[in-house]
Amino acid sequence: MDARMKITDVIGPYREPREQVFSYDYSIQRASWATAQAVRVKVAIPEELDVVRSKILGDVVGTPGQQLMISKLLSRHIANEKIRIADADGMLAERRDTVVAPFTGPLAHLFARLDAWAEEQRDALRAEIKTLVGL
């Protein structure tokens, strides 16, 4: 049976109240499931987004609008990678609504994979940011 996950829709980012995170709502489907399931992926701003941004861009500054566009682009890429990591780790194997929390605290061991991904994708992300934002 085909157990691959297919992302059918993504909505976001949302700014979570009382948390320093952006969240994205994914709809995922597997061939063996009758209906799609919801997954909320949270990207911690100081612990994930800011770390990846500094790894990709260093101390690059820009206008507030450029910084907003960079944050939106990078947080979406981070969320996409986090859902792949969560799937590979078996967190999305069951057919139920799930939250993929920030890779801090109990999930801090998963941050190493996100960090390695950011290192691998540095040049591609820089090029995308340059094209989109002009930095």
Enumerate long-range contacts of 52-57, CB under 8 Å, 24 or more apart: 52/78, 52/114, 52/115, 52/118, 55/115, 55/118, 55/119, 55/122, 56/118, 56/122, 56/125, 56/126, 56/129, 57/126, 57/129, 57/135
List pLDDT tens digits, range 81-122. 999 999 999 999 888 889 999 999 999 999 999 999 999 999
Residue 1: pLDDT over 90? no
Q: Is 88 helix (H, G, I), strand (E, B) or coil?
A: helix
pLDDT at 68: 92
pLDDT at 2: 57
List pLDDT tens digits, range 18-44. 999 999 999 999 888 888 999 999 999
Residue 61: pLDDT over 90? no
Residue 3: pLDDT over 80? no
Is residue 87 within 8 Å of 110, Cβ to Cβ? no
pLDDT at 4: 86
For residue 47, give Cα distances in angstroms to 6, 19, 121: 28, 12, 18
Query: Who wins on pLDDT, 80 or 60?
Result: 80
pLDDT at 26: 97
